[in-house]
Each structure stands twice: as structure tokens, then as C-alpha cells.
Amino acid sequence: MADKKITVEKKDKILIITINNPDARNALTLSMLREMERVFKEADKDDDVSVVIFTGAGDKAFSAGLDLKDMESFMEAEGDAESTELFAGEDAFVAVRSMKKVVIAAVNGYAVTGGLELVLGCDIIIASENARFADTHAKVGVMPGAGMSQILPRIIGAYRARLMSFTGEFMNAEEAFAAGLVSKVVPQGDLMDEAVSVASVISSYDHGVVQRMKRMINEGGKLSLGEGMKFEAKEFSDWKSGIKSR
């Protein structure tokens, strides 16, 4: 268990998924992304899990992004792929942002490029005072392929997103909070306690209602206000009638 790069720990109905590669600032290899995809999909199907906390091992980084030492594996996998639309490992990012259950990111340090894209797939982002966020795609000459160009501008606005993405400039925890990228900032030593506290509150509520609310926010956000109001009314009517959410 000690050498596993993606670890899972269960506390009551809360599942803690940890990127466990601290010596490399939790950089992501292809095998790690495949394991991540598996554990997130399993968590979403597990009726005994209500909330997921997603974090990185150590106090340096949530994740520094893709492990450049493993690029050969990524290139080989992409060469074998039937589709050229997704990069190898993309399914892990999809698995995170497609979760029906609430996912809380506990960001303990650097969340850079692919690491930031994983954070952007979460519902609530709790950052330590040491957290730093950056998109270095342009800096290293690689195109984003896991949602950065589409999700980041929708959260912090196009102008801030362009500055981050075009320059690779870092945003600290307080700046991220002010920009709307982070839900709250806490001292480094309090990070996991705060994440567990928030998860415990959510876990104590009706799971079906919380999951339906998540879907309403996510799907409604793609619509105009008028269409979104109709969507909410339909979801409320279905809920009142006992019709389960999709």
C-alpha cells in the first residue's frame, strides 16, 4: 500500500482520494491517471460514499501536472488511441468532473496545469494559505486538453484567465479566493480538518437532494437564465413527484 501513487481512505461516508507522489510534487503519470479514473468511477457507484475529498500528499503540492518524465508513455498511448480528440489520460479528468457526488478539493500547495485542471473539475475548493495556482501550457509549449481553456475563463473571467494562461503567472490562495477560483482559504495545518468538516456537513444531508442540486447548478449553468429557471422548475416538479434525477 505504501508505494501506491493513488491512495484511498474511507471515513464514515467520506472517501479521501490522495495523489501520492510527493517526491515529484505529485506529478501525474499515465498509470496514475488510469488508477485515478478507476477509483473515482468506483466512488460514484458506491452507495456507501456520499462525499469525496481530493488532495495531494505532503505539504508542497496538490499536483504539479503531468510527469514530463513519463511523456513517452503518454505519446505511445496516444499513438494507439482510436480517437485524436482526447489526450491519453483524459478519462481521469472526465471522471472527476462527471461525478454525481460532491467532490471537495483540498489544495495543499501547488496546483499547476494538469493539477489545476483536476481542481477545476471539483465542486468545492478549499485551499491552504500555501496554495498556488498556475496554467503553464503556453510556457512549456503544450496545448491544453483537459478543459483549461473552457472551464477557467468561466470561473474567473476571460481577462484573468488569459493573463494566467498566456503568461504562466501564479495566483496565490488569497488572489484565487478573490477571483472566485477558491471557496475558502485556511491555514495549512487546518486544511484536512476543514475539508472533513465541510464534507461531514454535506454528508449529513439527504444525498439525493444534494446530488440533484449539483446537477441543477452544473446543467443550469449552461443555459440562459430563462431556460435555467424552467430547468429548475422541472427538476423541482420531478423531485416532488418522486421521479429520480438522472
Going 131 to 135 to 141 to 145, the CA torsion angle's sign is: positive
CA atoms within 13 Å, Cβ hemisphere of 216? 20
What is the per-residue pLDDT for 147? 86
Q: Rounded CA gap, 40 and 95, in Å?
A: 6
**Closest by CA position to 148, among listed 159, 169, 134, 130:** 134
What is the per-residue pLDDT for 143? 81
Q: Rounded CA gap, 102 and 53, in Å?
A: 9
> Alpha helix (H) ranges present in 46-180?
71-80, 90-97, 114-120, 137-140, 148-156, 158-167, 173-179
* Tens digit of each residue's pLDDT, the chain (246 residues): 446 999 999 999 999 999 999 999 999 988 899 999 999 999 999 999 999 999 999 999 999 988 767 566 655 655 555 555 456 678 899 999 999 999 999 999 999 999 999 999 999 999 999 999 999 999 988 888 888 999 999 999 999 999 999 999 999 999 999 999 999 999 999 999 999 999 999 999 999 899 999 999 998 888 899 998 998 898 888 888 877 766
Grid coordinates of 66: 503531468
Domain boundaries, the chain: 6-202, 206-240
Contact predicate 6/19, CB 8 Å: yes
Helix, strand, coil in percent for the chain, rounding step 5: 50, 20, 30
The conformation of residue 99, written as its DSSP 8-state character, comes to -
What is the per-residue pLDDT for 168? 94
Grid coordinates of 144: 491544453
Considering the domain 6-202 in this protein, what is its CATH number?
3.90.226.10
Partner residues linked to 49 by β-bridges: none
What is the per-residue pLDDT for 1? 42
pLDDT in tens, 190-238: 999 999 999 999 999 999 899 999 999 998 888 899 998 998 898 888 8
What is the per-residue pLDDT for 85? 44
Going 190 to 28 to 221 to 211, the CA torsion angle's sign is: negative
